[in-house]
């Protein structure tokens, strides 16, 4: 069977290159994740009209624009503080719970992918997250990231919406327990007050390590993230110490402008 496959391969033209070090590391880590991490997946469809309106408001007169990622990173950090069981890793038969939200950003570069970590996002304003992420993404694309800037993450965000991808499933980035895959914003018909109208929607999928996080726990995290995005017309720059209730994202919204 193997010989037949090899003969079939040699019947077509091809070229073969040695995989660069980064690609080999990615291959090893992704294979390890899929073989050793029991994944499960949760998807929700978000009404992002409030998010779009808030971003437009933020960017009025700004030279460096706030991205959707910046706002979503802040919302994720708040939810991780509200759901500490999701801000965790399964390590050597122990569950390690983190007291800060270090959100990694999946950054595509030539020949691979890097995941720099924006640290202490729960304590930072959206402006500060924007500044840090802009610098880290630029470093990643120029291959100038320092080793410590890619470690210590507790959660990863991967966004392919800019490519028109409506929905996808990401692979958990060990030792983290969760990664959120963000799709494109779509204009779709929706029902409001019994009438069909145009709406803006965005699908997000949460991939989870079932060793550290159970389905109900992850579902509560994602449901609260959705509620925070859908039910608020503005989002926080900086928020107070978390409570267990679902937070509003409009606290202190102008204080850090």
Residue with tokens 């990401």: 170
Segment-wise mean pLDDT, segments of 10 residues, the chain, 257 residues: 62 88 92 96 95 91 92 94 97 96 96 95 94 96 93 97 97 97 96 92 98 97 90 47 42 36
Domains plus CATH for the chain?
39-230 (3.30.559.10)
- According to the model, what pLDDT value does residue 252 have? 40
Backbone phi, then psi, for 170, in 5-degree steps?
-95, 160
Please state, in angstroms and rounded to a whole number, the distance separating the CA atoms of residues 88 and 81. Answer: 11
> Quick one: pLDDT at residue 232?
62
pLDDT at 228: 85
The pLDDT value recorded for residue 216 is 97
Q: Cβ distance 189 to 98 under 8 Å?
A: no
pTM, to two decimals: 0.86
pLDDT tens, position by position, 189-228 = 999 889 999 999 999 999 999 999 999 999 999 999 998 8
Nearest CA to 104 among 84, 88, 119?
A: 119
Rounding to the nearest 10 degrees, give the CA dihedral for residues 163, 34, 104, 54: 50
For the chain, the 3-state helix, strand and coil shares in percent, each to the nearest 5, are 35, 25, 40
Annotated catalytic sites, by residue? 210
Q: What angle do CA 206, 219, 106 make, to 5 degrees?
A: 20
Residue 123 confidence (pLDDT): 95
Residues 6+ apart with CB under 8 A from 196: 189, 190
């Amino acid at each position: 069977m193997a010989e037949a496959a090899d003969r079939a391969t040699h019947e077509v033209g091809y070229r073969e290159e040695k995989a660069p070090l980064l690609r080999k590391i990615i291959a090893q880590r992704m294979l390890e994740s899929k073989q050793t991490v029991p994944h499960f997946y949760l998807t929700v469809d978000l009404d992002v009209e409030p998010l779009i309106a808030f971003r437009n408001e933020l960017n009025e007169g700004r030279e460096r624009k706030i991205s959707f990622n910046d706002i979503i990173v802040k919302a994720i950090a708040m939810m991780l503080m509200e759901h500490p069981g999701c801000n965790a890793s399964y390590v050597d038969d122990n569950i390690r719970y983190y007291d800060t939200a270090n959100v990694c950003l999946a950054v595509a570069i030539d020949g691979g992918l890097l995941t720099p970590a924006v640290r202490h996002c729960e304590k930072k304003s959206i402006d500060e997250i924007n500044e840090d992420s802009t610098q880290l993404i630029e470093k990643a694309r120029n291959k100038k990231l320092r080793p410590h800037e890619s470690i210590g993450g507790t959660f990863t965000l991967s966004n392919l919406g800019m490519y028109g991808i409506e929905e996808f499933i990401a692979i958990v980035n060990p030792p983290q327990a969760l990664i959120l895959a963000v799709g494109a914003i779509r204009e779709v018909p929706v029902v409001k007050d019994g009438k069909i109208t145009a709406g803006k929607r965005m699908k997000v999928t949460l991939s989870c390590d079932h060793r550290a996080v159970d389905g109900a726990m992850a579902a509560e995290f994602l449901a609260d993230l959705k509620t925070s995005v859908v039910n608020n017309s503005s989002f926080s720059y900086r928020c107070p110490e978390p409570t267990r209730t679902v937070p509003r994202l409009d606290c202190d919204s102008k204080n850090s402008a």
